[in-house]
Structure 1
């Protein structure tokens, strides 16, 4: 008997580039087991006209992510599939003729391996030296963990929350995910499959526009410290040199305006020397045509101040690191899922809008997640504890893993210390997670949730619903915090506001 083949899905975020058709056709013609499905995620802010997709034998379907960037588009895609592995491909790559067959071997790995990168090949001209743009794209062949072709176990994506959607460009979001996966104790490996990444045409100022990624570098530094580049396999950047060059240019302008001509000439000489060094570093390896030299001279003047501007913008945006909680504990019914009284049927579980995205935001920030829920239906004989467990398992299937479940099976008159508004469930959850209750946040929709949190010494956020009594909202205004949705409550937690 042969082992069953691993099921995988392919996720392709796109903004409608014409290269998408070539990717799907190459994926369709490749030898080997076909994917369980291919999800093309349309990330255009205004998805019209409809995407023109070629006819293939692949099970292709469309999803939309609202123009929120590739990280959000990939999250939209992987959350909609149930395959064991999820393979992310960019919409401008071309899988090799043996890609599907090689992928099958790449995914035959031990349980400690949760990600496998494909090998990227960048075709360069043979009759001349590559341009600056071509050399930049060629660098992808040696980059670590890029999502041009990257496979992840879906369980690992669920555990880590997927991609951090604060990365709005196709830059650093893949490295960030890889670092979080490694921090969780899993391994990433490089496979044998090959994917071609052609060099696409770009405007003369493409390298200047690319400096917007310096804002993402600021976020990486904020999350992982000064040595983050080394951890993703990169050498030191040019941030300091760009800052010195920009400072020399500003000093020249300031001295000129002040009539200090000698100082102006001195700083201008420094600026010219630094700019010339940067330009020569980019010109000498290239074809040295007049057009290429002109582009390099112009962009070498523009890049340092633009890079510094975006880095400053990023540092200001992420300058304040709020004190995050160790854990966030949620009420279950009407907070994470729509309330069905005394429900013991997993088929009736329906998450509230935004619940999955809110929990993944916590996972991205490595905050533990728990559920504290009264289930008096057990005491009333309307439910068995196994029914509660089955519903909880379905909640995890739809919303991702939960670090601790604490459910009270008692009724109002049982006199237990766990039924909310008593603090027992919150205290037990904190103890199981090995964190102090004072570093927990409790999010629920009733006054009992707020009272249980405050009694345990935790922070409380009320998310009112149709069954929340006005008096409970009034008390929460004084003693706790109020958010209009579970997503807004998590944003309040992550923003540090009160």
Structure 2
């Protein structure tokens, strides 16, 4: 089993324990460890230290402070293994983690996109946990969190990975899981165990965490109001926070209007709400003077902070669509996709457009997408036609469909060992470079499995438009459209346009 490990980090002290635990664990080693340094700039020029046991397989990449979602995307795009395991920098894998990971991933059906590890949060002995400790302990029952989550790389490519509009390590993992389920993938729980210690935090941390309400607003905009149940979450006390905040604002407004009695009643209601909230947080805790003071102060600050972030998030999330949205470029296979497949054709007179090809290419251009062609032409290597003949056919295609931003042709045969012949990624990567986009900003449209495999190897999404030459097994796990127009609609960000074939 081949897998990589991706760890985004801000260079916190806990990273050393995380890497030491991974280096000392027994079982199949990762092919690569990608450590994503997400500090805006290395403090004082310091570099991340990697233990000797991981040094040869670890790559450190700097992301420049893009946030955890974008950092994870950068990390997995540096890998080429079938599976990518994500770890947070504040966890410690257990000694048998690689062995259990191998067992978790072995023989999973192709529709399984990801397998979650089991999180253990050690709590202090001899006293009740604090509010912060109880919150961290909730991670043990959370679904699909990237503290320890292994994803099939194919699923990451086809989904576009993590939604980079989530700026915090919050909800971006649930969003990815829900999008994968919407596409027909399934997610599973494994048996491997990972320890997530409770890290130190300031007493006002619960107020700062209210920024996550803005992420909840984005989740609602993208997945609808029922996303909480699907993700195993609840809205919490948001309705109560709204009531407390409204009462407080009403008290201030009434007082300003000189209506003292009504203002006093509204203020009493707000204080009663805050008191009940504080009592509910204090009761299960250690009830020390420090904890009681922190709970009292933060319980008054949390409701307005939660409401503010929720409303701010609703405004920013208006009209939001699921990630990753429109592509920047569409790469078409030639034979069997744009034109009828005439084996080893070197005669421009035999060029015949596939149904809907002209309309599909025109739609791509109208939607502002760059267009290119990526085509295997092994007839050159076989001596059945010349490069000049291939170029003549391509010119005829361009006469019928208009100019393309790039033409990528592989003249090699099956046994030449080149890096360009599909299903290798070379032509997709070169096409993206010529169109001045990144591979993951492209959608490859073709008619056979090699087109899909080349796109995935390069990190690009793909759509299969079946023809009589498409084998049934090539459909499994691929995103399939009924026609070229629907395939381009998908690339342009329209839904539905294409769906995964179970």
TM-score (norm: length of structure 2): 0.72
Q: Residues 34-433 of structure 1 correspond to what in structure 2 (within 5 A)?
A: 34-48=29-43, 49-58=45-54, 59-108=57-106, 109-321=108-320, 330=330, 339=406, 342-344=409-411, 346=420, 347=426, 349-350=429-430, 351-352=432-433, 353-359=436-442, 369=443, 371=445, 394-404=454-464, 432=483
DSSP 3-state at the match of 1:9: strand
Deviations 1:40-96 (A, max 9, x none): 001111134233314232211101222111110110011111111100000000101
Change (3 A) 1:42 1:222: same
Deviation at 1:111, TM superposition (A): 2.4
| Cα deviation 1:365-396 (Å, max 9, x = unaligned) | xxxx4549xxxxxxxxxxxx99xx97885444
Alpha-carbon separation, structure 1, partners of 2:310 and 2:284: 27
Partners in 2 of 1:323 and 1:91 — Cα distance? 28
Consecutive unaligned residues in structure 2, runs of 5 or more: 334-369, 375-404, 413-419, 421-425, 468-479, 495-502
Map Cα deviations across residues 6-31 of structure 1 (whole Å, 9 max, x no partner): 10100000011111111111011111
Q: Distance in 1 between matches of 2:121 and 2:75?
A: 26
Structure 1: runs of 5 or more not aligned: 1-5, 360-368, 373-384, 408-428, 443-489, 492-498
Distance verdict in 2 for CA 1:395–1:440, change over 3 Å: closer
**CA RMSD of superposed structures (Å):** 3.1
User: TM-score, length-normalised on structure 1?
Assistant: 0.73
| Count of residues in Structure 1 that have an aligned counterpart in Structure 2 | 394
CA-CA distance at 1:98 after TM superposition: 1.1
How many angstroms apart in 2 are the aligned matches of 1:137 and 1:295? 17
Instruction: Provide the rounded CA distance (Å) in 1 between the counterparts of 2:40 and 2:465.
Output: 38
Shift of 1:204: 1.4
1:404, distance to aligned residue in structure 2 (A): 3.9
Runs of 4+ in 1 over 6 A off after TM superposition: 322-329, 389-392
- Partners of 1:56 and 1:436 lie apart in 2 by 48
Deviations 1:278-297 (A, max 9, x none): 10110000000111001001
- Secondary structure in 2 matching 1:57: helix
Counterparts of 2:88 and 2:178, CA distance in 1: 20
How far apart, in 1, do the equivalents of 2:445 and 2:484 lie? 12
Partner of residue 15, structure 1: 10
Q: Is the 8 A contact 2:327 2:441 kept in 1?
A: no
